[in-house]
Amino acid sequence: MVRLNEIRRAEVAIDPPPATDAGLVYIGRIATPWSSRLETPRLGRLDGPLCRIEVFAPWRAALKGIEAYERIEVLFWMHLSRRDLVLQSPADDGTAHGTFALRTPARPNPIGTTIARLVRVEPDGILLVRGLDCIDGTPLLDLKPDRTLFTPLAREQAGDRQTGHDDVSDGPEETPGG
Amino acid sequence: MVRLNEIRRAEVAIDPPPATDAGLVYIGRIATPWSSRLETPRLGRLDGPLCRIEVFAPWRAALKGIEAYERIEVLFWMHLSRRDLVLQSPADDGTAHGTFALRTPARPNPIGTTIARLVRVEPDGILLVRGLDCIDGTPLLDLKPDRTLFTPLAREQAGDRQTGHDDVSDGPEETPGG
């Protein structure tokens, strides 16, 4: 993060609808070395400093088996971010980029996703990891095995082997040309 | 997805706190070929069928520049999923795995994350992609450039170069041994 909450030259904010379509529960808290968003890394690195994820009590049983994965996907809520910017100027140089073409924390739903190296699982819902890029105290939303390491355990589904140019449309005028 | 909403042998559900810590806004809708969770793929594949993401009007300006990325990360809300399972049996074989050691849609915050191949950006907030693994009609939460393709545009931060064994602790008794 490299801003507090100012709007910069060339940036555009909208007046978004209320964020009431679905609700989140914080399932834990993340401790990192960065107490200011002006020092937090822009992107995590797998050789970064050790960080500590605490999973709150109701969900600790859900950690069973996570130690099998060298890397995990960590989803967190970037609770300090403004949510109304559609065009942003990360370098503050007068040029603007779409929010969805950036990995900036300022987004309509400020959900951060990082791949972290799982160093150790400790008692009481504590995970030690490297690779995070969030500020100290960030609320935890989810943990998943890294997609490239995970093999589904469920039975095969019809869609699993589906490839090719099967189009999706809701009307002839919108049929893509695939 | 390979369940409707039944609880299976060896699975454990909790009575979670209300999901009111933060609120989400649906920024679009995803059209896929799968109208039942019993046929939706378990994991997307980049050579999978063409799917269509519609971004709703208020956020369309935020797509500016996204066409530069061959792959994008798609975050969506798995609106049909139960949220109370901490132990699950994907194969329904009597063995149970922790929810955080699975990429099952049934999770405390059912946020799906997939890497999709961006095929084309069309007018009116439409993106055509391959690689999704969600049911038709799934609400869209966010789009980001694939992390492996993205170079931050913001100025360098102090944390960017930080590596090694810098510990995090909130008290001497919890200092990890890194």
Min CA distance, B158 vs chain A (Å)? 5
Distance CA A172, CA A168 (A): 10
Local structure of residue A27 (DSSP, 8 states): -
- Name, in order, each residue with C-beta under 8 angstroms of A142's C-beta and a sequence gap of 6 or more: A27, A73, A74, A75, B100, B107, B108, B109, B111
Q: How far apart are CA A134 and CA A105, in angstroms?
A: 9
Q: How confident is the model at residue B2 (pLDDT cuts 50, 70, 90)?
A: low
Task: Give the tens place of pLDDT for each residue, B119-172.
Answer: 999 999 999 999 999 999 999 999 999 999 988 888 888 888 888 754 555 443
pLDDT tens digit sequence for B58-115? 999 999 999 999 999 999 999 999 999 999 999 999 999 999 999 999 999 999 999 9
Q: Is any Cβ of chain A less than 8 angstroms from the Cβ of B70?
A: no
- Name the residue facing B61 among A39, A72, A86 (closest C-beta): A86
Task: Say if B10 is an interface residue toward chain A (CB within 8 Å).
Answer: no
Convert the pLDDT of each residue in A98-122 to its tens digit: 999 999 999 999 999 999 999 999 9
B83 contacts B110 by C-beta, under 8 angstroms: yes
Q: Tens digits of per-residue pLDDT, A57-78?
A: 999 999 999 999 999 999 999 9
Q: Which helix (H) or strand (E) holds B24?
A: strand B22-24
Q: Determine the 3-state secondary structure of A66 from DSSP.
A: helix
Instruction: Say yes or no: B109 contacts chain A, CB-CB below 8 A.
Output: yes
Q: How far is CA B141 from CA A5, A122, B10, B89, in A?
A: 22, 32, 32, 28
Strand order across the A12-13 sheet: A12-13, A85-88, A97-98
Give residue B44's identity as a one-letter amino acid code: G
pLDDT of residue A165: 55
